[in-house]
Amino acid sequence: MKSTASFSKIAYLKAKIKGDEIFRLVSAFFALTTLLIVVLMVYELTRGSWLSLQKFGLGFITGTTWDPVFTLNFGALPLILGTLTTSAIALAISVPISIGIGLLLSEYISKRLEFFVSFIVELLAAIPSVVYGLWGIFVLIPFLRNNVYPYIQAVLGSLPLFSGPIYGGGVLTAGIVLAIMIIPIISSVSREVFSAVPLSQREAIISLGATKWETCKIVMSYAKSGVIGAITLGLGRAIGETMAVTMLIGNKFKVLPSSLFDAWYTMAAIIANEFTEATSDIYVSALINVGLTLFLISLMVNVIARLIVWRTLRLVKGVSRG
């Protein structure tokens, strides 16, 4: 080696490798910025909510007052409950529909039609949140108030959940719009998971004389954990959704709403609605603290969801290869 390569050649090779090394480091640096952003986010959100954290501590999460005018006492429990309730309603409505669409796309529809349908589902995902809100205010609310809610109340009015005055906007309306908004993500991820189920599974059950639906059941049970991942991803979306909810939920801070037709608040909605009007430092800090809480909850949900989806896709694909 030493004898064959002249000095200039080695220098040339070194220079060459240096250029490559620099490029590799530069691109690695850029790739690490996302990591940096997440770390910085935790730091900055904590810094911004420091005043609130010092004053209320963990009591912020369990507190049930929100008084920016007189006592300057802040607690976020009703907001957390509001976020969880609207998300739960959204999941209850959207999960069966989305799994249906996922199955349809992976098991029933031809490739050509699938292309068209997935375009439509993508379109649904591309409509901005604020347009859902606009449509909700001027189209959905009047429709639900006049044509749907009175009937629900006539049938289920004896339950406390469905009693009380109907305003149009409120917890249920926000949940319905959230459901519409998270159908695309749940259905596209579950389609992906269903499509990843190996063909041999289907062939085996079909050869036993199963109907199409029975085949679908096998596919679903095979892809169960992936579907759970898809649902968790949808939950993550619903938890963080802001503008449409702010425009439709009525924005009233109360510990519990009187019914599903009543106005309430969510974590994201209170930030959007009150942030630009917040005057005192502690008020701003409390709102950022709500943001930090929302961040931590959605971080947890997202990490769990991604881990599940990743694991299943790898597991399913691994089996199909073997």
Partner 1 sequence: MMDNYRIRKIKDRLMRILLWSSLIIAMIPLFSILLDVFINGARAINIDFFLLPTPTVGEKGGIANAIQGTLITLGLASIIGVPIGIMSGIFLSEYHDSKLSQPVRFINDVLSGFPSIVVGIFGYVLIASVIGFSVIAAAFSLAIIMIPIVTRTTEESLRMVPVAIREAALALGIRRWKTIIFIVLKGGRKGIVTGVLLALARIAGESAPVLVTMGYWRWWFSGLNRPASNLALNIYLFAISPFENWRTLAWGSALFLILMILGISILIRVLTRGKYE
Site for partner 1 in 98-117 (CB under 8 A): 98-101, 103-104, 108, 115, 117
Site for partner 1 in 195-224 (CB under 8 A): 211-214, 216
Residue type, 4: T
Cβ atoms within 10 Å of 309's Cβ, excluding its own: 22
Query: Near partner 1 by CB under 8 A, which window of 24-32, 63-71, 156-164, 218-226?
Result: 24-32
- 272 belongs to the binding site for partner 1 (CB under 8 A): yes
Q: Determine the size of the site formed for partner 1 (CB under 8 A).
A: 87
- 38 belongs to the binding site for partner 1 (CB under 8 A): yes
Site for partner 1 in 233-252 (CB under 8 A): 233, 236-237, 239-243, 246-247
Distance CA 191, CA 305 (A): 16
Site for partner 1 in 136-165 (CB under 8 A): 137-139
193, two tokens: 């998971």
Report the chain's C-alpha Rg in angstroms. Answer: 26
The residue written with tokens 């959207």 in the block is 94
Residue 190 beta carbon to partner 1: minimum distance, rounded to whole angstroms: 12
Please give, one letter per residue, the 3-state secondary structure of 192-239.
HHHHCCCHHHHHHHHHCCCCHHHHHHHHHHHCHHHHHHHHHHHHHHHH
Contact 238, 226 (CB under 8 A): no
Position among 10, 40, 155, 204 found at the interface with partner 1 (CB under 8 A) = 40
Q: Which is nearer to partner 1, 218 or 258 (CB)?
A: 218
Position among 41, 72, 156, 256 found at the interface with partner 1 (CB under 8 A) = 41
Instruction: Give every CB contact of residue 139 below 8 A, 6+ residues apart in sequence.
Output: none
